[in-house]
Structure 1
């Protein structure tokens, strides 16, 4: 559910690290990769507005009951798995979500030639008197399938305004293997995962610009590992491209906005029982209170990146959620 606040070092802040310290495709490979319009838009703006309204109503039903059942009708993975984990957290801490209300909506509907079909929507929510902007991406697997929210990273105010629109108001999708960009959209997940795991000198990592969700996150991870080691806790963290499609839209500078997902595996260990505990972002995913010497977590991270025709890609948005604890 898209009303979330994320800090620069969110890869650490909402993971077990906080607990340990306190304890002591575009639509298909055939989608257009050039500026020439191809295919047909899968729906109209009016129909897209109805999709967003139906999604909002279902999220509110889920929030009232702390039940993921309504989400099954309007979401698919990775969004569904992440939002179910968010519901578990809220249920555990007895914190009911506020009513979801989108404002300043905009729609970016590409011309497509195959399935899955998809479109993007920009929308804002207000949380704790702060406005948060989201880049929601909906997909449907076939003609008679429902539209489902697939990813919804938080973004800056101007991220989606860069999307190029034709005279008819429709956008142009970019293929995962597009050759006219600084890096093909399909290569971004592996490059980003390599940077966060091995650092900016990792193979392929040079395609990403320095920033909060790239080099600064890697530095924060390394500093966190050192801090934990001083308290008797060992942390290892590895990122990999998650098994979800990559989606991209052409921007006015002949670049692309790219949605993609990474999976993070964190392993914590300590020789002293009780040093590790379930808290922070992990609450609701496993029983709290019992002493542990080993804990493994799985985290999903959605990203939005701007890829220029030349230069390096800039990560402009994300949504991160721990989804499993062992």
Structure 2
């Protein structure tokens, strides 16, 4: 369902404090029947809480505070980033520009079972004009809503989302839910199977072949890796794998053009070996996460979340629109 966020008011805060624990509270409705993932009032409260806590955590690089609002791949990337930046900048980030979400549109699908999710399409309040697409996920009634995916897109790149007969967004979910899951069936008719998009992207990075359009995260990424392979100072090995954790499975919403906007995760393992006599050069934030001494080899475990527009079957290739990538750990040898 597409709804516009209302202005803040004390009455909303009171209503949310009473209503928030109730979403999906009925077992039958929450487990088997398709019900809205969240109400408009709850979604607004979730977004406001996210901004408040994120602003506090980002200002001082507080990894544990971030854990209360981010989850999944986004959470892992941000927590590792906070840990590294706190090591390099223990004074925090005095230049941090706080989030102040505005002009928000919520896209709320009907879902049976868990996990449930909804999409907030909003401006950050930082004046850059990009739309922030935040996917909030909840794995059970006992869990809090947390952000699992984030994408920053110019307004022209944000597609129009499809709605069902009652005005709700149409979800694509590739893990969880009942069997059969209507949200899994919603993937029918796409040019690329959402359940296999992470593996397909990994295969593309390895072979250069796959149903992906040229762009910064496809053809240009291949060219970057090819350029690395010709540098005599070091040798790089890449391994790109889909996530094994079902909590990191792809999800998204159908669009009015017959396609879908999908959010997915990929693990990137990178090992860089320097030639004898060459001193390894290591990014300061990677070094902050590193175990061991980088005498000749550095191995980095990265995670990336990507946003893709997958067209209807027969309408072309998937376009990767945005990527957030971060190092989770590193080893020197």
Same fold (TM over 0.5): yes
Do structure 1's residue 164 and structure 2's residue 151 form an aligned pair? no
- What is the alpha-carbon distance in structure 2 between the residues aligned to residue 297 and residue 77 of structure 1? 19
- Residue 119 (structure 1) aligned with residue 128 (structure 2): no
**What does residue range 193-208 of structure 1 map to in structure 2 within 5 Å?**
193-200=202-209, 205=210, 207-208=211-212
Give the distance between the partners of 2:87 and 2:173, measured in 1 at CA.
Answer: 42
In structure 2, what is the Cα distance between the partners aligned to 1:285 and 1:132? 31
Q: Give the Cα–Cα distance (whole angstroms) in 2 for the partners of residues 149 and 137 of structure 1.
A: 6
Identify unmatched segments of 5+ residues in structure 2. 1-32, 175-183
Match of 1:308 in 2: 311
CA contact (8 A) 1:92 1:283 kept: no
SS in structure 1 of the partner of residue 72 of structure 2: coil
TM-score normalised according to structure 1 size: 0.78
Report whether the alignment pairs 1:272 with 2:271: no
**How far did 1:280 drift?**
5.1
**Deviation per CA, 1:130-175, whole angstroms, max 9, x where unpaired?**
3443221111111131001111133332344421134644201124
Mapped partners of 1:156, 1:284: distance in 2: 33
Superposition pairs of residues 45-84 of structure 1, within 5 angstroms: 45-84=40-79
SS in 2 for 1:275: coil
So what's the TM-score if we normalise by structure 2? 0.77
Matched residues in 2 for 1:143 and 1:169: separation? 24
Q: Deviation of residue 89 (structure 1)?
A: 3.4
Equivalent position of 1:183 in the other structure: 192
The equivalent residue for 1:236 is 237
Note if contact 1:75-1:149 (Cα within 8 Å) is conserved in structure 2. Answer: yes
Give the 4+ runs in structure 1 shifted more than 4 A: none
Are the equivalent residues in 2 in contact too, given 1:278–1:286 (CA < 8 A)? no
Contact 1:123 1:135 in 2 (8 A): yes
Check conservation: 1:278, 1:287, Cα contact below 8 A.
no
| Aligned ranges 1:211-222 → 2 under 5 Å | 211-222=215-226
- Please give the alpha-carbon distance, in whole angstroms, between the structure 1 residues aligned to 2:285 and 2:102: 27
Distance 1:194 1:219 in 2: 16
Pair 1:210–1:281, CA change in 2 (3 A): farther
- Number of residue equivalences: 279
SS at match of 2:305: strand
Q: Which runs of 5+ in 1 are unaligned?
A: 1-37
For residue 304 of structure 1, report the CA deviation from its aligned partner.
0.9
Q: Is the 2:73–2:303 contact (alpha carbons within 8 Å) kept by the matching residues of 1?
A: yes
Contact 1:274 1:292 in 2 (8 A): no
